[in-house]
């Protein structure tokens, strides 16, 4: 099924087109004894936590995202 065909059927069924969200991303090193404060600060600035992994040097790294203004 072609994309335009699916879109036409969706609109014909009473649907509406919605703009796709675009995101910006950040990686944030986390310091053990202030992890909560770091995440709280980024969260209050509109960032959402996506994942936390061990970084290349052994420390934790948080991956954050938030919608862009465009």
Widest distance between CA atoms in the chain: 56
Residues of the chain with pLDDT under 50: 1
How much is the pTM? 0.70
| Cα–Cα distance for residue pair 31/18, rounded to 1 Å | 39
Q: What per-residue confidence (pLDDT) applies to 38? A: 98
Question: Does 20-67 carry CATH code 3.30.70?
Answer: yes
The answer to whether 25 touches 65, Cβ cutoff 8 Å, is yes
């Amino acid at each position: 099924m072609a994309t335009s065909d699916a879109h036409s059927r969706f609109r014909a069924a009473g649907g509406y087109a919605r703009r796709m969200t675009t995101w910006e991303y950040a990686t944030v090193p986390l310091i053990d004894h202030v992890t909560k404060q770091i995440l709280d600060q980024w969260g209050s600035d509109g960032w959402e936590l996506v994942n936390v992994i061990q970084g290349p040097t052994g420390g934790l790294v948080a991956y954050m995202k938030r919608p862009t203004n465009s």
